[in-house]
Structure 1
């Protein structure tokens, strides 16, 4: 667990932020590191820790989820795509964690309780699901953020309890609010990335375009094919190639380029932010973090060998915005790059599009919106989850649901935040027990045996937190189902 103590004059009442990630690829941990850096700049944060939940679990669990994923990507990409689409339905996965995950989560739960956070940021859906369970059980009392790390929203990230859900783009926010999530609990901030360099050496306008070629998390033969293709370009260029910690790949590429002074080959480097600012065109995979860093640097992309599912969808978005082109076969990569470099003004137009997409302040916005936001979590009842899942399968937006199956929200009038999302029939049950003279509800802690649905009772107790009572108003979802532009 990485720890940083922020410098403050008075730590009384200061925040303790725990960032939970999972080392499946590098993107989730990179986002966690970016959020950590954003925390270090705030005087109201006394301490921040980062925990990779896979590193705290058994080696078998870590290998299955981490290494196993990339084996599937390499050997059976069609299976990865099938699994992505299958799990994309909102709230397909409901209820408690499976026994194997629960057993491996015990060290993480212990770490959370030892640290006693006031805020938790999850940059992977595994810890997000775990934290939601702890909120429902009343085991933790911390503001919780779920931070997605790809441009398209994926259903596995939806949980039954959280304070704020942060998305990469506005379309994702529209998607979730159409499904039924309240607009006050969903924000489009972009994907958290490391701070951008303040000063970057000015490029020589007469110099040939610089290509930045990244091997990505898996690297290997495809990266070598990319380099070979660039050697046949008709356009003038220079190329910087980053191989990461893949020493075998680095040696292979150095052997291929030989003494060609157009090429500079790196292994692992901490200078990636500077390289992104110096380059004119990026060639590599559209991972969420890589793409976000490129866009923040105004660096358009030539997309190669995307992972089925999230990376393909990332690429679709970037191409839609005019900030990328995709190569579907290694044989055309050189031709595709030439098309960009030889068409007058095309590279400049792509760079302008990338700058429009970029969200360099996403990490700072995530921290600010979480810590300055509502103290009570949003609780989504099991019935509401089933409704959202069913409506999505029938391609019905939540605001069109009617009768007992419609969705409603409970609003805390103290800050106008939605504290629960439930079905209309569940509201009727609550009205019988907690009706208030003002037309709303007066929720109260009641340990007696009641006729109220047991699951609903348990979930709504999480809303009360340490309070004995809470007045809320009931609103139909339609009054808050259409998002306004941010």
Structure 2
């Protein structure tokens, strides 16, 4: 007998759990944007946002949260090395490490207590945790992974999920080249808060307005950035946002005092959405959320002091789109801004490029992808993960792999969605007991306890979910994976 797969919506509506990790502000900002999209969508009964680090031990929280930025400041080359090493897909294929698992127990308890029908992860740590829980049958909910930088990074890949939302089409093509099914991946953009209901228009007359994010740059570097703008020869006015750094705000105010009313200095402000839409040029770091907010506002960027790894790659993408320029030396920031402002039509072209790049509906689209998508998860077997890693290290696309290590997909005949990615050699056990007609198999719950390899048993449990059987077809990867 066939039963409905997965928990699905309850009679009272969806129960959505949004999991993040407060390493920097971006992941939590994306979580807040998804929550806002939940509030605007019908059929959702309850929403909860949970920061994994806030319910972990203080030591774990400090090492992951504060420790990362200590490395950024002190040994940025090590951060870049770590980013590149961890960029290989499925380099780590085993269960989450014991220390992370121990610190995640409060999160697991909260997940069980909340009983979600949908889980959305805006950081790779909870994404890895949820994949483990999904495979073990601890949770029965649709799960989505929502990335928060323009370049896809391999740590976000997990062994089980329902939907993955990436920032741009190249990320979707990259995952397809790894062998991931295109029906489970969408390029939605990076989730940001909804714009103001009546966003202000940029002034057609008067000097261009610069928006300087000094709090993001931080400390002496922020002072150097502001000081450099004082050497710009083109007409401009500027708003300097220092965040909650009161000491920095006082230093900036003293520095720009001789310039009269050309500068306005702010501390923390809730009016950033308005400031972004009123400004003509942004000067600051290319964090994923900051950059996404600028693009949605049609605001081009002058990039300064990017964190090695993700922010450098964010900047590369924005420059490729024509929506940003980068300053590799603090001594040339003033000159770079002047070049943008002096060249006729350049600022307007960059603003148009930013508008084309922006994805203001990313949060809504990522949420819809999950809630309107397949009820069954995609399971990527450990053996398939080995093939994906090997292909990446050999710099080939997964469809170039042949023989027993080649990847194949199992596609739900009724829903049309891919439910499993495995190696060709793993089909032997399945075909021996689940053979159907031609390229079809009928997976049966009654067979799940038979002496298969443990990975095939886990695959059957994960794919069948609440059903007694499932008819699937076997598909090889397309020669041109991205279509």
Query: What TM-score results when the alignment is normalised by the length of structure 2?
Result: 0.96
Question: What is the distance in 2 between the residues matched to 1:365 and 1:448?
Answer: 36
Structure 1 equivalent of residue 144 of structure 2: 145
Whether the aligned pair in 1 keeps the contact of 2:208 and 2:235 (CA below 8 Å) is yes
CA RMSD of aligned residues (A): 1.4
Whether the aligned pair in 1 keeps the contact of 2:419 and 2:463 (CA below 8 Å) is yes
SS of corresponding position for 2:50: strand
Question: What is the distance in 1 between the residues matched to 2:283 and 2:43?
Answer: 40
Whether the aligned pair in 2 keeps the contact of 1:216 and 1:284 (CA below 8 Å) is no
Give the direction of change, closer, same or farther, for the CA distance of 1:467–1:241 in structure 2 (3 Å limit): same
Whether the aligned pair in 2 keeps the contact of 1:319 and 1:325 (CA below 8 Å) is yes
Question: What is the distance in 1 between the residues matched to 2:25 and 2:13?
Answer: 30
Question: What is the distance in 2 between the residues matched to 1:376 and 1:483?
Answer: 23
Structure 2 equivalent of residue 112 of structure 1: 111
Structure 2 equivalent of residue 52 of structure 1: 51
Whether the aligned pair in 2 keeps the contact of 1:379 and 1:460 (CA below 8 Å) is no
Structure 2 equivalent of residue 271 of structure 1: 271
Structure 1 equivalent of residue 170 of structure 2: 171
Structure 2 equivalent of residue 71 of structure 1: 70
**1:351-370 equivalence runs, <5 A:** 351-370=351-370
Structure 1 equivalent of residue 302 of structure 2: 302
SS of corresponding position for 2:344: coil
1:475 equivalent in alignment to 2:469: no
Question: What is the distance in 2 between the residues matched to 1:389 and 1:470?
Answer: 29
Could you tell me how far 1:301 is from its partner in structure 2? 0.2
List gaps (5 residues or longer) in structure 2.
1-8
Number of equivalent positions? 474
Structure 1 equivalent of residue 201 of structure 2: 202
- Runs (4 or more) in structure 1 with deviation over 4 Å come to none
Structure 2 equivalent of residue 7 of structure 1: none
Question: What is the distance in 1 between the residues matched to 2:416 and 2:405?
Answer: 24
Task: Encode CA deviations 1:259-302: one digit per residue, 9 max, x unaligned.
Answer: 52111111111100000000000000000000000000000000
SS of corresponding position for 1:268: coil
Question: What is the distance in 2 between the residues matched to 1:81 and 1:213?
Answer: 26
Question: What is the distance in 2 between the residues matched to 1:202 and 1:47?
Answer: 36
Question: What is the distance in 2 between the residues matched to 1:275 and 1:74?
Answer: 28
Q: Which range moved further: 237-246 or 81-90?
A: 237-246
Structure 2 equivalent of residue 37 of structure 1: 36
Question: What is the distance in 1 between the residues matched to 2:307 and 2:409?
Answer: 38
Question: What is the distance in 2 between the residues matched to 1:238 and 1:482?
Answer: 49
SS of corresponding position for 1:436: coil
Could you tell me how far 1:216 is from its partner in structure 2? 4.5
List gaps (5 residues or longer) in structure 1.
1-9
Give the direction of change, closer, same or farther, for the CA distance of 1:207–1:105 in structure 2 (3 Å limit): same
Question: What is the distance in 2 between the residues matched to 1:94 and 1:186?
Answer: 20
Question: What is the distance in 1 between the residues matched to 2:58 and 2:344?
Answer: 53
Structure 1 equivalent of residue 384 of structure 2: 384
Whether the aligned pair in 2 keeps the contact of 1:233 and 1:335 (CA below 8 Å) is yes
Question: What is the distance in 1 between the residues matched to 2:277 and 2:449?
Answer: 63
Question: What is the distance in 1 between the residues matched to 2:448 and 2:191?
Answer: 45
Whether the aligned pair in 2 keeps the contact of 1:246 and 1:267 (CA below 8 Å) is yes
1:413 equivalent in alignment to 2:413: yes
Task: Encode CA deviations 1:431-486: one digit per residue, 9 max, x unaligned.
Answer: 0121124541111224776342112211331111111211111111227x6334xx
Structure 2 equivalent of residue 425 of structure 1: 425
Structure 2 equivalent of residue 319 of structure 1: 319
Question: What is the distance in 2 between the residues matched to 1:62 and 1:392?
Answer: 32
Whether the aligned pair in 2 keeps the contact of 1:180 and 1:399 (CA below 8 Å) is yes
SS of corresponding position for 1:151: coil
Structure 2 equivalent of residue 460 of structure 1: 460
Question: What is the distance in 2 between the residues matched to 1:374 and 1:11?
Answer: 16
Structure 1 equivalent of residue 281 of structure 2: 281
Whether the aligned pair in 1 keeps the contact of 2:288 and 2:314 (CA below 8 Å) is yes
Could you tell me how far 1:407 is from its partner in structure 2? 0.3
